[in-house]
Amino acid sequence: MLIVGELINSTRKAIAAAIEAGDRASIQQIAKDQANAGARYIDVNAGSFQDREIEYLTWLVQTVQEAVELPCCLDSPNPAALEAALKVHKGIPMINSISLEKERCEKLLPVVTANDFKVVALCMSDEGMPRTADDRIRIAEELVNFLLDHKIKLENIYVDPLVQPVATDQTFGREFLKSVEQIMSRFSGIHTICGLSNVSYGLPQRKFLNRTFMAMAIAKGLDAAILDPLDKQMMANVLAAEALVGRDNFCMNFINAHKAGKIVC
């Protein structure tokens, strides 16, 4: 499971304050904590500061990469901010995200095609949010084929089928899961990714619901996630699900995590 650490996001108040104050130490500590907890990419988002996003996103990349030897997941729909951040970025970043929305797609395509980057392909089009698995698969097919036509490698594509709250429509969870399964089987070698906390919006016991949903999604083939790696129970759950679904050779990851005291239930 490829974990993208989600914490350095300017929509969180503490992070926004740290960015504005130029507080390197705090940002670097959070980057390190996430790396130690198993993150393989560090998501960076400065989207709350519309007029200074370019400057702040660049600063985040530099600050994070001084502290950890990991690539970033550049979380912005703004090509100018991405380009500036890419200039200072070391290694192969993940671009979060492109979609079938015309404007977003046209602007971001040149950024992704020119390079061997990983890219998150969000199942969203100008027609709005997908509701059913069929909606998602239609968008995913069009978007993936479009990216392939533009010489982006299949294994660099991370399709995000988009998680929506079951509190507002009880079919949303099921339709998401179905779409993960179908996308993974239709495009052998592709990846699926998601930020899944939205699934529990409007309900009590959100963390518990999120963990349960994670296990279900892993069973369908989900192989990447944007989440809080400091959530120990969630991380334990990921390891357990991977072992149970046969994606952990001889269950060694799970056993080692247990020995290291990381399986917190």
Partner 1 sequence: MTDKLIHALVEMQETEALQQAKQLLDSGTDPMDILDACSKAMEKVGQRFEKGEYFLPHLMMAGEMLKQISDIIKPLIKEEKSTTEKRRVLIGTVKGDIHDIGKNIVTFLLEVNGFEVRDIGIDQPPEKFVESIQEFQPQVVGMSGLLSLAFDSMKETVEAIEKAGLREKVKIMIGGGQVTEQVKDYTGADALGPNAIAGVNLAKQWIGGK
Q: What is the contact surface with ligand B12 in residues (CB under 6 A)?
A: 165, 168, 201-202
Q: Please give the full DSSP string across 195-217, using - where no structure is assigned.
A: --GGGGTTSSSHHHHHHHHHHHH
User: By C-beta, is 22 or 202 nearer to ligand B12?
Assistant: 202
- The reply to whether 128 sits near partner 1 by the rule CB under 8 A is yes
Q: Minimum distance from CB of 206 to partner 1 (Å)?
A: 11
- Classify the C-alpha dihedral 59-63-69-71 as positive or negative: negative
CB nearer partner 1, residue 168 or residue 249? 168
Amino acid at 243: A
Least distance in Å: CB of 48 to ligand B12? 12
178 to 207: interface string for partner 1, x by CB under 8 A: -----------------------xxxx---
SS3 of 134, please? helix
Note whether 95 and 108 are within 8 A (CB). yes
In angstroms, give the least distance from the CB of 85 to partner 1.
25
Residues in the interface with partner 1 (CB under 8 A) total 10
User: Which 3 state secondary structure label does DSSP give 226?
Assistant: strand
At 144, the amino acid letter reads V
d(CA 172, CA 145): 25
User: Which residue number, 25 or 203, has a Cβ lying nearer to partner 1?
Assistant: 203
Residue among 250, 151, 165 at smallest CA distance from 203: 165
The minimum distance between CB 143 and ligand B12, in angstroms, equals 20
Nearer to ligand B12, 228 or 242 (CB): 228
Contacted entry of partner 1, ligand B12, none for residue 79, CB cut-off 5 to 8 Å set by kind: none
Distance CA 102, CA 125 (A): 8
Binding mask 154-173 for partner 1 (x = CB under 8 A): -----------x-xxx----
- Closest separation in Å from C-beta 216 to partner 1: 19
Side-chain half-sphere exposure of 12, counting CA atoms within 13 A:
13
Alpha-carbon distance 19 to 208, whole Å? 31
When asked if residue 129 is in the footprint of partner 1 (CB under 8 A), the reply is: yes
Catalog residues that contact partner 1 under the rule CB under 8 A.
128-129, 165, 167-169, 201-204
